[in-house]
Chain A
Amino acid sequence: MFEILRSSPLTSIQDQGRSSYRHMGVCLAGALDPMASQQANLAVGNAASAAVIEVTFEALQLHSLVDTLIAISGNDFSASMTAGKDQIAQIPVYPGFAHLLKAGSTLVLERPSTAGGRAYIAFAGGIDVPIVMGSRSTDINGGFGGHKGQSLSAGSKLSTLQPSTRQLTLMESLQDSGQHRSKTGIRSIQASRTLRALDGAEAELISPTIRQRFWQEHWRIDPSSNRMGFRLKGKASTLAPYPSLLSSGVLPGDVQLPSDGQPIILGNDAQTTGGYARVAHVIEADRWQLAQLPPNSLIRFTRVSLEEALAAKEQLAQYWQRLALWQTQ
């Protein structure tokens, strides 16, 4: 059991997201950076599907009432913790390592090293909130899932599921040896500013000139971007009279081109249907990076084939297999 002492309105509980309800208008939700959330889970020995805290943009502080194992991944927030009740010394919490957070301790995520980037905190066993429509993720717009359908705020009380025997053994060994953290950790991956993308579903409805400009332009991530979508601004506005289209299902990663010519990359919380022409679709292996790029970053798109997209996904799957293997050794 732990209590949030300080949070920001965009910090929430997420897991791998909510699937198979898009025909009811229910968005994916889930960790915006699944790489980092999975790394944090792996570092404490959780399943990849365990619910974590997605810390967005601002500081977070929590107080643990029990001994637990935590790991932080993603954006570095200069985290630290105290070593139990009435202790004031701050012990650094390194990204990617499992740490023993003792009962009565405070965990502080001070400030993001990269503005706009997100951090993920995993707890041994995973955060225990009810499964709603197959997921523990918070659907902020729908107001359900996660912690009472809302973002976390000071006073929110949360608990974790029962840690595994392995996790309890690691906690005990840290306890006995007086260590604060595991010997090995998982290195964070640097986000790239070039996103690989497939041709969009309505690319052929867009004039070749505008399409070409889309693939060449350096796009700036607008600060108004959020979990619903990343708004991009280009140097030259590419106003074009697109026909209004019949609504169809859309997916996270779709790059819509509204009539003002400023693309929007749909995020995990985007609505499930849309009527704008899609010029591209950011491949799954590259999408996580959007969660970590600071506002006003310049990004570019590289056009790839379906085969290349699947090969990139396969490569990622192999990375996880290697990590999981290392973890069980």
Chain B
Amino acid sequence: MKRPLNHPDYRITQLSEDSCLLRFTPAEEQLPSAELQQRICNFALRLQENSRELQLLEVVPGVGNLLLQFLPLCSLDAIQRQQGMLKKIEGHWAQTEDAPISGKTIDIPVHYGGELGADLEALARTCALSPDEVIHLHTAPIYSVYCIGFQPGFAYMGGLDARIHCPRKHTPSTKVPAGAVAIGGAQTGIYPFASPGGWHVIGHTDIELFNPQKSPASTLQAGDKVRFVKALS
């Protein structure tokens, strides 16, 4: 049987009866460049806008990759349909640029430290910095939302200053509160819902990150820019 031809920019792996993964960087590699990730997010947005024509049910950006799930079909037609659609999708990739589409930048006020940012001091010690220096380094960059996952509305963000990278906890906390702003490895994120978690919680925000009654339900989308701002408490 014919398998889809790989594109010079990505490799296609079949995931299930009706879905495949487009990999722009090898799975075991380091993070993709910010430009490439931005282009993947723009590509995802473009495919979502054309999802009806492309018969796509799900378009899910990951880090350096993109999951595509087509509308369910029985029978061997599904293979031919997928091949045809992947050809069209290739055309969309060629027309996608790496410049941010909407340029949406969201300011997120954060209350650093205290009871709801209980790991701030420990993280500062690990990084040989003062808590104020950690706050300064965390609020300085403009972050890129790489993808949403783990929880509804949970944004994985890249752009964290290397001085405050910190390996995940050996033993995850049993309950990280909703709104927790945290650092895990080279990434930072916010927990929209209370859950167990292995990231270091350095503060919390009051803004709503996910509301199923709103459209879009998730405040942050892959490709958005985020700035953390120290909240006045």
Contact = CB atoms under 8 A, between A and B. Distances in A.
Nearest to B1: A307
A229 B194 CA distance: 19
Interface string B1-30: 100000000000111110101010101110
A236 interface: no
A316 B51 CA distance: 26
Interface stretch (A21-29, A88-96, A100-108): A21-29
B131 interface: no
Nearest to B212: A144
Contacts of A316: 74
B17 A24 contact: no
A248 B58 contact: no
A309 B195 CA distance: 36
Nearest to B75: A314
Given A281-B15, A317-B74, A25 B65 contact: no
Interface string B134-167: 0000000000001111111110100000000000
B57 A19 contact: yes
A205 B27 contact: yes
Most buried by B among A243, A245, A283: A245
Contact of A247 (B29, B51, B62, B212): B62
Contacts of B210: 24-25, 142
Range, interface on chain A: 35 or more
A271 B17 contact: no
Interface stretch (B89-97, B118-126, B169-177, B216-224): B216-224
A202 interface: yes
A314 B74 contact: yes
B226 interface: no
Contacts of B146: 247
Contacts of A27: 152
Range, interface on chain B: 35 or more
B76 interface: yes
A173 interface: no
A243 B14 contact: no
B152 A306 contact: no
A283 B72 CA distance: 13
A89 B14 CA distance: 56
Contacts of A133: 212, 217
A307 B78 CA distance: 10
A246 B222 contact: no
A132 interface: yes
Contact of B16 (A20, A144, A145, A198): A198
A201 interface: yes
B31 interface: yes
B27 A20 contact: no
A199 to B, nearest CB: 8
Interface of B: 1, 13-17, 19, 21, 23, 25, 27-29, 31-32, 44, 48, 51, 57-67, 69, 74-76, 78-79, 146-154, 156, 193, 195, 210, 212-213, 216-218, 221-222
Given A141-B152, A205-B27, A246-B64, 15 more contacts: A19-B58, A25-B149, A25-B150, A25-B210, A26-B212, A141-B193, A201-B13, A244-B28, A246-B29, A246-B32, A247-B156, A251-B67, A251-B69, A306-B14, A311-B76
20 contacts: A21-B217, A23-B58, A24-B210, A141-B151, A198-B17, A201-B15, A246-B65, A247-B146, A248-B64, A249-B21, A249-B66, A249-B149, A254-B15, A272-B148, A272-B150, A281-B15, A306-B14, A309-B17, A313-B75, A314-B74
Interface of A: 19-27, 132-133, 139, 141-145, 198, 201-202, 205, 243-251, 253-254, 271-274, 277, 281, 283-284, 305-307, 309-311, 313-314, 316-317
